[in-house]
Structure 1
Amino acid sequence: MLPAVNLKPPFNITRFSHVVLEVNDVGRSRDFYVNVGGLVETEFADGVSYLRGLSEACHHSLVLAPAGGKPACRRIGYRVFLEEDLDKAKIFFEEKGLPGEWVEVRNQGRTLLVSDPSGARVELCSGMSVHPRKFLEVHEHRGARAQGLDHCQVIVADPLGLSAFYGELGFRTSEYIAAGDDLIANFMYRKGVCLDLALVPGIGPRLHHFAYTVADSSDIFAVCDFASRYGYGDSVERGPGRHGPSGVLFVYLRDPDGHRVEFFNNHYTTIDAELEPIRWDAASLSTNVHWGMPATSKWFFEASEFTGVPLERPEKMPNPMTLERYAEGLAKS
C-alpha cells in the first residue's frame, strides 16, 4: 500500500520551513499570531510581516502578505541542506515536467519556486538570515509561546500518488490511516521526528493547516485563554484534545482570514532506519481523536486554497466520522 522510499534521494530536503499566507489585513493577522500564538515579528517591510517562533533562529517561519483577492496560501517552504541541493532539485523537477524558477525572497538565500504534482506551490531554500532565539527572553513572551514551525497538512486529490512523489525525495512515513487496502492519510517526515507533511484526500490542493510546537501542555490551554482575551474566542475550532496518530495534545484555531493553525506539544523521534510505519484503521473513532468528540465537518472539508492554482476533485470523496454524524448516530441509538 505504501509507496517505496528513496533513502538516498536526489537532493537533501531537511525539514518543513515556512508558510506564506495572503491575508486581508496584515496588521490584524500579525496581532493574532503575536498576541494569541506568541510568535515574534522579526521584521515588517513593504507591508509584509515576517514572524518566527521563540526557539527559531532563522528569519521567518510565517510570512503574512497582503492578499490581492481572496485570502489564500501563496506557498509552503522546505529547507535543503546545501545550496548545491537547489541545482539538483531544479533538475529533478524539470525531469518530472515540473519547471522551477529562481525567485528573490527577502532574507532568504537562493530560492527555487516549484509546483509539486498536485499543483501546490513549494519554495525550496538553503539559508536565511539568523537572529537571536527568544525562548529565554521570558519578559517578551506572549500568548501560547509558540516555539517553532513543525509541519503542514495538505488536502490533495491523490494522496497515494503524491506520497510516491515525496517518497522519491526521501520522505518516510511515520504513521498512516487506511481503510482496507486504501490509503486515507499519510504522515511523512524528513527531520528526525514524525511529521513534516501530512497528505489527506479531498478537493485540492489546499492547505488544511500548519502547526507550531509549544513548550508545555499548559500552553495549549493558554492559547485558548489568550484567544478569548483578544476577541478571538470563537476562533478555537477543535480541541483541546489528543490525536490518535502521533498521540500529541493539540488545539486548532482559525486566524482572522480563516487560515487554520495548530498548536501542539511536540513529537516522538523517528530517525532510526528500522522503524516501521504505524497503521491506523479509518473506521476506528480513536483514529479520529484519542479522547473527546470528533471534529466538525468544517474541520475536515474547509481549507486554504493555493493562490491561482486550480482545484481537482478526487475520484471518491472522503466520508469521515464528523461530529455531526457522530451526534446523529447517538440520537438514533
Structure 2
Amino acid sequence: MLPTTNHNPAFNLTRASHVSLSVTDLERSRDFYRDVAGLVVTRETDNAIYLRGLEEASHHSLVLELAKEAKALYIGLRVRTDDDITAAEKFFKENNIEHRRVEKDYQGPTLQFRDPVGTWMELTSSMDVVDRKMQQFNEFVAGAPQRLDHYQVVTYDVQTATDFWTGLGMRMSEYTAKDGTDELWGTWMEVKGNTHDLVFTNGRGPRLHHFAYAVPDGASLIHAADVAGALGFGDEIDRGPGRHGISNALFLYLRDPDQHRIELFNTHYQFIDLETPPIRWDVSNPRRAQLWGMPASRRWFFEASEFPGEEVHEPLLQANPDTLEDYLGIH
C-alpha cells in the first residue's frame, strides 16, 4: 500500500548526515576510505577515525570505531534545530519508541533510537564546522567523494518501515512492487529534494546494505575503480560501474576490509515539487537496478552489515532475484 507523507511531522528532518561503523583494524580501514574511496580524514584517535567528503563543512560524515567485531553502529540524520531533538524525544516517548540522549564528540544535541523495524538511528542538530575542501583540487584522489547522500537498509518489513518514515515527513520518490500491485518490496524516500536519503529493500534484516557518497562526475567512478585495482582492492569492487534505473544514478560499489559496503555515485535527479508522483518499478524488471543489463552478484543481494545485538528476521516477502552467477551459469 502506498504511504501518505505527513507534511507536518513532529520534528524536522533535513538530510542524511553521518554513519558510524565498528571496524577491526583502524589503520587498514582508514587507508581504504582515504586512499581507495578518497575521503578526507578530519581527526584520528586511538579508538576512532572521523572522515568527511571534500565539500562537507560538518566535522564528519563517517566514523570508524575500533571493535572486535565489524558492525553498523548507527546511521545518522540531521534535524533542523536543537528544538527538534527535544520534539523527537517527546514523540518517541509518546509512541513507546526506545531512545536515549547521548553526548557525542564534535556533535551538538544527539538522540539515538531504533525504528519499528530495528534500524539503529542517530539524530543530531549540529556539528563542529571545518573547512570545505571542494576547491582543493590537488586533494581530489580516487573517487573524490563530495558529500554523504543516502543509506540503503535491508528490512524484513518494507511497509512498516515506509509508513514510519513517511509519517516523519519523508517522501517516496520511487518504489518497487510486484504483479501490478502496490505491495511494497522497496522504497526510496527523501527529505532534501533529490531521490533518496533513506532506502528500504526487502530481505533479511535489519541490516545496513550500504551508505553512499556523491562524486563529481562519471569519470570519478572509473578512476576509483582503477585506484582500487592498483592498490589491491580490485576484488572488493562489489558492483559496477553501471547505471541504476531507479534514481538514474551512475554507481560503483566497494567493500571495505571488514566488508562494509560504500557506494560512490553521480547524476540522480531532483524530487522537490509536491505534485510529482513516485515512480513505480515492477520487481520483475531488471532495468530497475541496472539499465545496462548486467545483474548484481549474490553477495550484493544477500550480504550486508548487521547492527550490534539486533536480531535479524526473515523477510515477510519471499523472492529469488536473478544474480550475476545465474546470468553467467555459475552454480
TM category (shorter chain) comes to: over 0.9
- Give the 3-state SS of the residue equivalent to 1:289 in structure 2: coil
Query: Residues 104, 270 of structure 1: CA spacing in aligned structure 2 closer, same or farther, 3 A cutoff?
Result: same
Consecutive unaligned residues of structure 2, counting only runs of 5 or more, are: none
Q: Normalising by the residue count of structure 1, what TM-score does the alignment of the two structures yield? A: 0.96
CA contact (8 A) 1:23 1:257 kept: yes
Aligned residues: 329
CA contact (8 A) 2:248 2:269 kept: no
Give the aligned residue type for 2:82.
E
Residue 10 of structure 1 corresponds to 10
Residue 72 of structure 1 corresponds to 71
Residue 267 of structure 2 corresponds to 266
Residue 103 of structure 2 corresponds to 104
Residue 255 of structure 2 corresponds to 254
Deviating more after overlay: 98-107 vs 73-82: 98-107
Give the aligned residue type for 2:160.
G
Distance 1:140 1:167 in 2: 38
Give the aligned residue type for 1:327.
L
Residue 23 of structure 2 corresponds to 23
**How far off is 1:288 after superposition?**
2.6
2:197 is aligned with 1:206: no
**How far off is 1:45 after superposition?**
2.3
Distance 2:237 2:45 in 1: 30
CA contact (8 A) 1:151 1:195 kept: yes
CA contact (8 A) 2:186 2:199 kept: yes
Deviating more after overlay: 265-274 vs 6-15: 265-274
> 1:103-132 CA deviation, whole Å, 9 max, x = no partner?
111100010111101111111000000011
- Give the 3-state SS of the residue equivalent to 2:32 in structure 1: helix
Residue 300 of structure 1 corresponds to 301
> 1:217-269 CA deviation, whole Å, 9 max, x = no partner?
10000111111121111110111001010111101010110000100113211
- Give the 3-state SS of the residue equivalent to 2:134 in structure 1: coil
Residue 162 of structure 2 corresponds to 163
CA contact (8 A) 1:90 1:99 kept: no
Give the aligned residue type for 1:91.
K
2:258 is aligned with 1:283: no
Matches within 5 A, 1:1-333: 1-67=1-67, 69-180=68-179, 181=181, 182-328=183-329
**How far off is 1:323 after superposition?**
1.6
**How far off is 1:78 after superposition?**
0.4
Give the aligned residue type for 1:268.
Y
Query: Residues 202, 170 of structure 1: CA spacing in aligned structure 2 closer, same or farther, 3 A cutoff?
Result: same
Consecutive unaligned residues of structure 1, counting only runs of 5 or more, are: none
Give the aligned residue type for 2:157.
D
Query: Residues 234, 271 of structure 1: CA spacing in aligned structure 2 closer, same or farther, 3 A cutoff?
Result: same
**How far off is 1:216 after superposition?**
1.3
CA contact (8 A) 2:74 2:120 kept: yes
CA contact (8 A) 1:19 1:62 kept: yes
> 1:183-225 CA deviation, whole Å, 9 max, x = no partner?
1110000111111011001111000000001001100001111
**How far off is 1:47 after superposition?**
2.0
- Give the 3-state SS of the residue equivalent to 2:63 in structure 1: strand
- Give the 3-state SS of the residue equivalent to 1:187 in structure 2: strand
**How far off is 1:327 after superposition?**
3.3
Q: Percent identity?
A: 48
Distance 2:258 2:213 in 1: 18
Distance 1:224 1:248 in 2: 16
CA contact (8 A) 1:113 1:124 kept: yes
Give the aligned residue type for 1:285.
P
Distance 2:30 2:209 in 1: 20
> 1:286-315 CA deviation, whole Å, 9 max, x = no partner?
123101310011101100001111111123
CA contact (8 A) 1:288 1:321 kept: no
Give the aligned residue type for 2:80.
F
Deviating more after overlay: 78-87 vs 287-296: 287-296
Give the aligned residue type for 2:154.
I
**How far off is 1:100 after superposition?**
1.5
**How far off is 1:155 after superposition?**
0.4
Distance 1:318 1:83 in 2: 42
> 1:74-117 CA deviation, whole Å, 9 max, x = no partner?
11100000110011111111222113211111100010111101
Distance 1:120 1:177 in 2: 20
**How far off is 1:38 after superposition?**
1.0
